[in-house]
Structure formats: C-alpha cells, structure tokens
Amino acid sequence: MQNRANSLGNSNVLNLANRISQNGAAYPHLTADHYSQLRQQELAIELTQKLQVSLEIEDIINMLLLQIRKLVPVDGISYEYLPLNLSFATPVEGKHKACYQLDLEKEELGLISFSRRMRFEEEELASIESLMACLLYPLRNSLKYHAALLAATTDPLTGTGNRKALDEALSHEVNLAYRNDTPLSVVMFDFDHFKQLNDNYGHQFGDQVLKEMVQEIKTVIRKTDLLFRYGGEEFMLLMHKTSLENAAAVANKIRNHIADSVIQFDKESIKVSVSVGVASLKRGDISSSLINRADRAMYQAKELGRNRVCTEVQH
C-alpha cells in the first residue's frame, strides 16, 4: 500500500488521505497505522511546498511548527545556529524537551528543540522526525543565504560590520530615533599612531591590534550597541536610546580598557591607545551630519594630545 500510494503522485496522495479521513468505513483494509502514514505524507508534501517560499529562518521554523502541531501537540520550538549567531524561539516553552542536532551530508545545520508540558511519546517523536526531514534542504539554503548576506556586510578582518552595513544601520537608527523621539549617539574612535605601529612592527601586527582590540571593545559595550569598521583603523559605535553624556561615559570605558590592555607580539609587550569623538542626534540631522560632528570631535581629541574622549559639546 505504501508503494502504491507513492506511485499515485502528490495530488492523488493528498486526495486519498482526505478520502480516508472522511470515509474510513470505505477502506476497512486500512489500519490506523496506514492512515497515520498517509497523513504524515500529506503534511510532508504540504510542508515541502510551503518551505520553498521563504529564506528567512524564523519563517521556515514557524512553518515546521504549524505543520507538526497538526500531528503532535507541541507548545514551543527553538532553533540556534552558532556560526552565524542565529537564534529563534517561540514565547512559550514547556518543561519537557526533544532536542535534535541537525545535519545534512556531514554539514551541521544547527540545533532545534521542541517543548511541551507532557513527555513526548516515541510515536510522537517519530511523527516529528518525519516532518523534520522536509526541513533540511530548505534550512541549508536559508543558512547559505544568510551567510552570503553576512559576508557582504562584515569586515573580514575584525568581524565587525563594514561600511555598507554602517550606512544601512545608521539610516535605520536615525529614522527610528525620530519616529520614537529617543536619543541616538555615535562614538567614533581611531587608534593612535597606527601608521607608526605598522612601520615598526609590520602590517601583521597592525591586523593583530585591530582584531584583539575589537574583542576588548565588545566586552565593554552592550549587546544592543552596533560596532562597525569605518575605514582603516577607524571604528564607529551606534548607541540607540543613549544620551550624549552616557555615550561619552561608555567611550571613556573603551578608551581606558584599551589603554590598560597589553598586546604580545614577537616576545614584546606593546600598548596602544585610541582617540574618541562622541556626537548625539539633533533635530534636523541626517546620517552624514551626525558622523561629521563625531569625526570633528575625534580629531579634536587627537589635537589635544590623543588617548582621550571629546564630545561635540566642546566645540
């Protein structure tokens, strides 16, 4: 019966399952197991078709959940893929979980978990797994899509956002700040005497400085703050819902943290510093005017002796 159902084609399998559901008495030779298998086939075909319409992780995980709920009571679902820092979870989470490490052709695709208040029975897990099989290829395509997007907006050396990502994020944050009437501040910083560091120790050391100091900066800032490489040894931090004074306080923490750090290179212990400029959004600002004021404040910090923070108030 299983082989015959497969040979009928997708639309006929769907119709047959519907007919069995509505007229079970007409098919006395079909057991509950047969019907369950046909129902799973029907839902798998529906899911496969639905998964073709989106490359967004949240969309396809939600599609899977909705389809699984037609077979098995499930309260919540979560998914994470650490290489791209992707995660998604429904608001509701149950006490009992069924977790799966997803992979396809030796390629890891992340971790997915289902939860609910009651334990999962083996038959229910089998039903969940039958539909999860439909997820693997669409999920891999989605991950490749997101990896390409990330590569296009990420600085390959430091892992921060690149200039393209900065332009898009700043435009979005400016519009959001105006719409919600919330503060927005930018912090621009430049590593002092960076050309001299490159000349004395080589560009490999310069690269090491940028990579290590970016990691140090990330230990100071909030998860909601956005860090970008503006160009060369210049970086910019976007801080939404942050006043000029609070942004300046964070800037000083960054400056102190970097000044206290020691970089080991070729048996030498080397210290670096940054000059920092801070500006906050004013009525009538556009992205470029906000950046220009932060840039001017940063160069004032350099003129005043480097390794310091200046805000636009000092102009």
Tens of pLDDT, residue by residue over 65-111, are 999 999 999 999 999 999 988 998 998 778 899 999 999 988 999 99
Tens of pLDDT, residue by residue over 134-184, are 999 999 999 999 999 888 999 999 999 999 999 999 999 999 999 999 999
Which of 127, 150, 173 is the endpoint of a domain? 150
297 and 225 in a common domain: yes
Q: Which of the residues 173, 212, 233, 312 is marked catalytic?
A: 233
194 and 48 in a common domain: no
216 and 93 in a common domain: no
Measure the CA–CA gap between 127 and 122, rounded to whole angstroms. Answer: 9
Measure the CA–CA gap between 50 and 48, rounded to whole angstroms. Answer: 6
120 and 54 in a common domain: yes
Which residues have C-beta within 8 Å of that of residue 237, sequence separation ≥ 6?
Answer: 186, 187, 188, 189, 217, 221, 225, 226, 227, 228, 250, 251, 254
242 and 100 in a common domain: no
162 and 136 in a common domain: no
Q: Is the dihedral of CA 199, 200, 203, 206 positive or negative?
A: negative
Domain count of the fold of the chain: 2
Position with higher pLDDT, 31 vs 297: 297
162 and 192 in a common domain: yes
167 and 19 in a common domain: no
121 and 188 in a common domain: no
Q: pTM for the full model?
A: 0.65
271 and 167 in a common domain: yes
**Given the DSSP bridges, would you call strands 234-240 and 226-231 parallel, antiparallel or unpaired?**
antiparallel
CATH code at 75? 3.30.450
Q: The domain containing residue 133 runs over which residues?
A: 2-150
Which of 115, 150, 185 is the endpoint of a domain? 150
Q: Give the C-alpha distances (Å, rounded to integers) separating 173 from 3, 236, 281, 286.
A: 57, 14, 10, 11
Q: What pLDDT does residue 236 have? A: 97
Q: What pLDDT does residue 312 have? A: 92
Which of 125, 150, 175 is the endpoint of a domain? 150
131 and 230 in a common domain: no
| 233 is known as an active-site residue | yes
What are the residue ranges of helices labelled H in the chain? Answer: 2-7, 10-22, 32-50, 57-68, 122-132, 136-152, 163-180, 194-201, 203-218, 244-260, 287-303
158 and 132 in a common domain: no
Q: What pLDDT does residue 166 have? A: 94
